[in-house]
Structure 1
């Protein structure tokens, strides 16, 4: 079976009765030379109770607008490009579309080579991440409204929007899939603080140089007990809606030697960033009436350095899980999937945990290719309590 058929099978298994693999241009009769194109958009209307008095509680946003293309001229190598924008709203727009928030940028640009059956190496700006399934999550088929934010564990700290520049290897040994990579860390990430506070700062490459703090190392390994998932592309499926019977157990890591820096007396001292996780994913049809179950759970140990705490990230631990149920119904008609999510993040730097609870429902008009999502999320962290209600419309073709 060719890699093209494998990927088409993954898309079809996401339970759309109409979508048969999207736009594909073949160069030749055998289908081995081709160009595939995928486009998607997510639009949100959000109500939040935690806004300043002079601000509106309701806002609109283009959460994502993306185009992904990949091509092969034979089965030995592939090139992929993926570009788009994120979170465009009235504050990030500009009169002439030239502000940072309005700009398209490349999310992924990589080339890969088949070095043996089921084994590939490649390089570029890529998404073959380590740590957990959610750190490799596709944005086309998430169970919940969006990914668990803390699971994109290095976003903007060592990478560009969850992508590193480097080399990777991926493949499988029977039912065991793997992905590993060696990458350059971003020089100036989101954490631009100095190191005078007594807490670690994620700025090792910026403050110590690339020789000591320039490289990151990551990997993720998952064992597929039942149906085998495609690993043709790095993006992990969030819910198959019962189109497959999947039970996977995984483990992963991310290492960045001297990635963080802390002041030791009068000198800067590098501290290693070390993140480890274990997780399990289960998706199965329930009988023949169209109902299905999706469940996921993960435990993650986060070490960003001594008492590190920046935005949603901090040294400590995280547990996260979600559960969704597809209500019985005809796959050719609108299907509904209520779900719940829960995350608890502990931080060494403070006594309080960040607890996030979500409850919502998906209405699938054509499987994952056209859906509406309504979600209420409540977040508690110390004295801060935020409730947000969001309606999202998504289409991908």
Structure 2
């Protein structure tokens, strides 16, 4: 049966007129048509992102109990399988299964050196499981869906399509509650989304997970805000986008494209928000006085992705966004992507996870994020594809940090076959901190770097 199904996938025709005439030897997707026209189909995609990384460690970093000034590690940033399809004129079914941040430490929140039993074979899980109904036949005006989904408010980078991002990685701060009250940015939600003229919208009501279920010990109630351990409230979110030229892809629920590599002419303005009552708590006038506080996050941004010369295939990608983030009084959280370190001897201000490549990523305050990239002409390297250099800047101003938190990346994509086969070299420069005894605020003490070579395969 599996052999037969594989054969059907391999020989299924695509509905894209630009590729429908290609021979089966030049297939670019695994797709099984459910009707003759191909408008009803079921499709599979596979993604793997492998990292080779050298990192200058934050002060005090330890790796399995040993102090380390720097580390070299090999890991899988993302390994994913998507299964989705338009089952009939109105119903879409979407699943995504996979794992993230799998290195020698397995990025386990419970990792320790005391001999306590752990299990490196529990990483893979369902990221998405969504059913969606198209209300108006053949029109994208209104789609209603529900399940475990990345459909979010706030911004395009709160729901990024990671297989087609322009830079090596996304600005994770925009996935505002990632692995705190969600499942790797996914939430149990009901939503409505659609496109009406130049407007693209999405609204959702989400049922956030309790912080106690994220696999790590939650912080104790104290004078600085943290996600509340008591009570449960729903989360409301929405996003509105205005397109000046081409409309964006709207097929899969939520996911927004990072770059179309010059295949579309995109200029968008967007605004988004996430709001939840009593999401966080902290102590008030006395240690026994508990104050509950809402989480209110909003952003505005502009996104550009368009060809500069259609004849040779050059293109530009740019984004500029402002994020206003209220998680409650002095909320601050460190995060390091696929952190290569397991502990620290120099905890910063009572905050967890400050070792390795971590920096203050989430906090009450504001963030300005920008990126720009340029796609060189197609076949710049002959039959070996082309190049796309880029730069990113993330500048956060948080209530609990003196000065700004500036994190900068520069990189180069070697697009061997577009997003299907690409190698990215990325350098990141980030700050590290100490906590001032008098105020408890964080003060920058220096900077560290990280160099990553990523190979992405996507089909």
- In the alignment, the residues of structure 2 paired with residue 333 and residue 9 of structure 1 have an alpha-carbon distance, to the nearest angstrom, of 25
SS in 2 for 1:320: strand
Is 1:38 the counterpart of 2:45? The answer is yes
Is 1:139 the counterpart of 2:162? The answer is yes
- Deviation of the 1:333 alpha carbon: 4.3
1:227 to 246, 253, 274: 246
Deviates more, 1:235-244 or 1:104-113: 235-244
2:453 to 376, 382, 391: 391
SS in 1 for 2:155: coil
CA contact (8 A) 1:93 1:101 kept: no
CA contact (8 A) 2:98 2:127 kept: yes
CA contact (8 A) 2:101 2:107 kept: no
TM-score (normalised: structure 1): 0.89
The structure whose Rg is larger is: 2
Counterpart in 2 of 1:156? 179
Q: Deviations over 1:185-235 (max 9, x none)?
A: 111246711212x111112xx32x22xxx2001111111111111112221
Is 1:74 the counterpart of 2:88? The answer is yes
CA contact (8 A) 2:371 2:393 kept: yes
- In the alignment, the residues of structure 1 paired with residue 207 and residue 107 of structure 2 have an alpha-carbon distance, to the nearest angstrom, of 31
- In the alignment, the residues of structure 2 paired with residue 131 and residue 10 of structure 1 have an alpha-carbon distance, to the nearest angstrom, of 34
> Within 5 Å, which residues of 2 pair with 1:10-49?
22-49=29-56
- Deviation of the 1:103 alpha carbon: 2.5
- Deviation of the 1:237 alpha carbon: 1.0
Q: Deviations over 1:271-330 (max 9, x none)?
A: 010000001111111122221111111100000001111222110000010110112233
1:57 to 71, 76, 92: 71
SS in 2 for 1:140: helix
- Deviation of the 1:267 alpha carbon: 2.8
- Deviation of the 1:20 alpha carbon: 5.8
2:301 to 275, 279, 286: 279
Counterpart in 2 of 1:364? 415
- In the alignment, the residues of structure 2 paired with residue 292 and residue 71 of structure 1 have an alpha-carbon distance, to the nearest angstrom, of 31
- Deviation of the 1:19 alpha carbon: 7.4
- Deviation of the 1:384 alpha carbon: 4.8
- In the alignment, the residues of structure 2 paired with residue 89 and residue 55 of structure 1 have an alpha-carbon distance, to the nearest angstrom, of 18
> Within 5 Å, which residues of 2 pair with 1:304-315?
304-311=327-334, 312-315=361-364
- In the alignment, the residues of structure 2 paired with residue 19 and residue 350 of structure 1 have an alpha-carbon distance, to the nearest angstrom, of 53
SS in 2 for 1:195: coil
Is 1:352 the counterpart of 2:403? The answer is yes
User: Which stretches in structure 2 are left out of the alignment for 5+ residues?
Assistant: 1-13, 20-24, 109-117, 335-360, 433-443
CA contact (8 A) 1:88 1:101 kept: no
User: Which stretches in structure 1 are left out of the alignment for 5+ residues?
Assistant: 1-6, 13-17
Is 1:245 the counterpart of 2:265? The answer is yes
> Within 5 Å, which residues of 2 pair with 1:156-195?
156-188=179-211, 189=214, 192-195=218-221
Q: Deviations over 1:145-194 (max 9, x none)?
A: 10012111121222111011020100011110001100111112467112
Q: Which runs of 4+ in 1 moved over 4 A?
A: 7-12, 18-21, 51-56
- In the alignment, the residues of structure 2 paired with residue 376 and residue 216 of structure 1 have an alpha-carbon distance, to the nearest angstrom, of 36
**Cα 1:175–1:93 shift into 2, 3 Å:** closer
Deviates more, 1:99-108 or 1:247-256: 99-108
